[in-house]
């Protein structure tokens, strides 16, 4: 008979039979392992530290300050104390009640181009801390308090400060902080406006002070040359005493050529120094200084697509600023500019000069009734070529000369009429008063659809029709033809003729109807100059415009 053999229980049987004991055994084993690892790690660390010898390391010594041969820092120290931070407050105004469904002027259904142009113009005017437009949509929620930031610089130790008009425009409260004022929560010293000039966007403000204040040194902007180093100083984004460096990129630069009421350019007196010195929101009104520390400009605007500096900034020349300042601190606190009472077209084609027989000069488009030119007998299409014997280059040259003259003084004008030179003595008038006499008439209320004509389609690329009587009456003309269609890429399209423009002359030949229009067009030859005298029904007081080019 076989009997079972006896054997010892295995490890797994013991584990299954005594689980609690097994758990304690495992925990004890892990604890011993962790303790041993800690001891070994400490021993290793200690061994490593014992083997590193840093006795040869020498402590760092901060050197004494060294003044580098950089003129920028010296200029910043020299000019900085006279540069101020300006912040303004506009109190809530009662919201204007607008008709339901109303839109901003010029905005059409499905077309926001006019709105975008308006936004860009508003941006140029108010980018550096202006107060927004006439409604609350430009500056924040209705009924909210508006705040704006800008810069300025002291030109008189008694507290007179120059800045931009758009910095203080429509502000109810103006505060100024000097570079020496403590940086605490209060807005600064109260200031009041002495005078403003919207045409150049210049303002003069003043703060009360018992002690003389530091001032800038004025420079002559005519001496600034393209390529010269300049520094822009101001408070971009509210960061006071910020300095940026660049060069003069261009001079006599205009940033907006769009005409305003009556077809007159809104920036007639705004010709800027262009610079690539970084200029940002809040820099407006701050100085642009040359390497002698003299102010050659006042930072006013930038061109940007990102609401920040892209290296294209604009500063009003210091000579313009000084002349305006001297008038604003006068008894009347306003700028008075001379005028002879004419309007003219900017940027005419060279073909106009060749057809009408002049190279340099200004062709008159409109004679303002009651103005000096009207009283002296000047007429539209006269070409002004000299002032007191000095040759006139272009419209900017003429405006700069006449506007600087005293009202009531007399000037001798040389002009061409029919190719013959004549002279006239013209009395200088007040530009503001003459401008107020010009009635605005921008709306074309003609609902007539003129009958089209086929003349000129092949040669010019346009269709025309007889001018409706209502349009002729509004423009004060006896006849002409109105453009009803322009072929894209045609000669007319390339030289800038526009639909609904009224043609009254072609190459000095009167156009009174479709027959005279066809005769004038048929006389045009390939390779010759073609100049059109144009009137715009939507701007009756704009006068004649001259559009020309060379026929292919």
pLDDT per residue as tens digits for the range 282-327: 888 999 999 999 999 999 887 666 666 677 889 999 999 999 999 9
477 backbone dihedrals φ, ψ, rounded to 5°: -120, 160
Shortest CA distance to 289 belongs to which of 81, 85, 76, 129?
A: 76
Under 8 Å CB-to-CB from 135, ≥6 apart: which residues?
96
Could you report the per-residue pLDDT of 387-433, keeping only the tens digit for each?
999 999 888 889 889 998 999 999 999 999 988 999 999 999 998 88
Confidence at residue 96, expressed as pLDDT on a 0 to 100 scale? 45
* Domain range 452-550, CATH class: mainly beta
Q: Length of the chain, please?
A: 552
The closest alpha carbon to 301, from 197, 174, 201, 193, belongs to 201
* C-alpha torsion angle, residues 282, 287, 290, 292 (rounded to 10): -130
Domain with CATH 2.40.10.10 in the chain: 219-328
Nearest 5°: the CA angle 381, 383, 388 is 145
Scanning the structure block, which residue is given the tokens 């008439």?
Answer: 441
- Number of other residues whose CB lies within 10 A of the CB of residue 227: 8
Given the DSSP bridges, would you call strands 173-177 and 189-197 parallel, antiparallel or unpaired? antiparallel
CA distance 511 to 503: 7
The domain over range 219-328 is classified in CATH as 2.40.10.10: yes
Residues classed as catalytic: 166, 201, 284
Residue 431 DSSP SS3: helix
SS3 content of the chain, % helix, strand, coil (to 5): 25, 30, 45
Task: Kindly report the number of other CB atoms within 10 A of residue 109's CB atom.
Answer: 6
Q: For CA atoms 113, 486, 499, 359, give the dihedral sign.
A: positive
CATH match of 338-436 with 2.60.40.1840: no
Question: What single DSSP character describes residue 538?
Answer: G
Quick one: pLDDT at residue 43?
A: 54
pLDDT in tens, 229-251: 999 999 888 788 899 999 999 99
Is the separation of the CB atoms in 482 and 513 below 8 Å?
no
Joined tokens for residue 261: 């009421």
pTM of the prediction? 0.64
Contact 196, 285 (CB under 8 A): no
Q: What is the pLDDT of residue 151?
A: 94
315 exposure class (CB count in 10 Å sphere: 0-12, 13-18, 19+): buried
CA distance 201 to 166: 7
Tens of pLDDT along the chain (552 residues) come to 444 444 455 555 555 556 666 666 666 666 666 665 555 555 555 455 567 888 889 899 988 887 766 788 889 999 999 999 999 988 766 554 443 333 333 333 333 333 444 444 444 444 444 434 333 334 444 455 567 789 999 999 999 999 999 999 988 899 999 988 887 777 889 999 999 999 899 999 999 999 999 999 999 999 999 999 999 999 888 788 899 999 999 998 877 654 444 444 556 677 899 999 988 888 889 999 999 999 999 998 876 666 666 778 899 999 999 999 999 999 989 899 999 999 888 777 888 888 888 888 999 988 888 899 999 999 999 999 999 999 998 888 898 899 989 999 999 999 999 889 999 999 999 988 887 766 444 444 444 444 444 557 888 999 998 888 888 888 888 888 999 999 888 899 889 898 889 999 999 999 988 888 988 998 888 888 999 999 988 887 878 889 999 988
Ranges in the chain annotated CATH 2.30.42.10: 338-436, 452-550
Pair 283, 236: CB distance under 8 Å: yes
Residue 156 has what pLDDT?
Answer: 96
């Amino acid at each position: 008979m076989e009997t079972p053999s006896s054997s010892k229980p295995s490890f797994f049987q013991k584990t299954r039979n005594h689980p609690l004991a097994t758990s304690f055994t495992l925990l004890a084993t892990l604890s011993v392992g962790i303790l041993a690892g800690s001891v070994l790690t400490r021993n290793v660390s200690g061994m490593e530290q014992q083997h590193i010898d840093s006795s040869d390391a020498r402590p760092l010594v901060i050197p004494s300050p060294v003044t580098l041969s950089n003129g920028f820092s010296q200029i910043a120290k020299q000019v900085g104390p006279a540069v101020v931070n300006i912040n303004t407050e506009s109190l809530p105004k009662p919201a204007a009640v607008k008709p339901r469904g109303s839109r901003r002027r010029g905005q059409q259904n499905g077309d926001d181009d006019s709105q975008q142009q308006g936004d860009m113009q508003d941006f140029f005017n108010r980018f550096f801390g202006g107060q927004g437009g006439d409604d609350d949509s430009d500056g924040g929620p209705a009924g909210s308090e508006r705040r704006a930031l800008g810069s300025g610089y002291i030109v008189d130790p008694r507290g007179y400060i120059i800045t931009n008009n758009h910095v203080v425009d429509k502000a109810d409260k103006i505060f100024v902080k000097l570079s020496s004022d403590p940086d605490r929560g209060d807005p600064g010293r109260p200031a009041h406006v002495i005078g403003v000039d919207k045409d150049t966007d210049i303002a003069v403000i003043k703060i009360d002070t018992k002690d003389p204040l530091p001032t800038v040194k004025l420079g002559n902007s005519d001496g600034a040359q393209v390529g010269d180093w300049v520094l822009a100083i101001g408070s971009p984004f509210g960061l006071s005493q910020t300095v940026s460096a660049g060069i003069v990129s261009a001079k006599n630069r205009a940033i907006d050529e769009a005409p305003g009421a009556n077809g007159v350019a809104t920036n007639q007196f705004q010709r800027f120094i262009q610079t690539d010195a970084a200029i940002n929101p809040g820099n407006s009104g701050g100085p642009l200084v040359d390497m002698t520390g003299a102010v050659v400009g006042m930072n006013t605007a930038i061109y940007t697509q990102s609401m920040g500096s892209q290296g294209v900034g604009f500063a009003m020349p210091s000579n313009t600023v000084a002349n305006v300042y001297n008038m604003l601190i006068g008894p009347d606190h306003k700028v008075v500019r001379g005028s002879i009472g004419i309007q003219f077209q900017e940027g005419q084609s060279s073909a106009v000069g060749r057809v009408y027989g002049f190279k340099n000069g200004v062709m008159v488009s409109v004679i303002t009734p009651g103005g000096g030119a009207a009283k002296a007998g000047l007429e539209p299409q006269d070409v002004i070529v000299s002032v007191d014997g000095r040759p006139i280059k272009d419209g900017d040259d003429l405006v700069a000369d006449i506007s600087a003259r005293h009202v009531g003084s007399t000037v001798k004008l040389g002009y061409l009429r029919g190719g013959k030179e004549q002279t006239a003595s013209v009395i200088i008038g007040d530009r503001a008063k003459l401008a107020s006499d010009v009635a605005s008439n921008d709306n074309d209320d003609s609902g007539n659809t003129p009958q089209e004509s086929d003349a000129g389609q092949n040669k010019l690329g346009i269709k025309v029709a007889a001018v409706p009587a209502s349009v002729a009456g509004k423009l004060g003309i006896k006849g002409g033809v109105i453009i009803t269609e322009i072929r894209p890429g045609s000669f007319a399209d390339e030289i800038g003729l526009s639909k609904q423009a009224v043609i009254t002359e072609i190459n000095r030949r009167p156009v009174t109807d479709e027959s005279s229009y066809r005769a004038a067009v048929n006389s045009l030859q390939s390779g010759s100059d073609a100049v059109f005298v144009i009137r715009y029904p939507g701007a009756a007081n704009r006068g004649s415009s001259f559009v020309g080019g060379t026929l292919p």
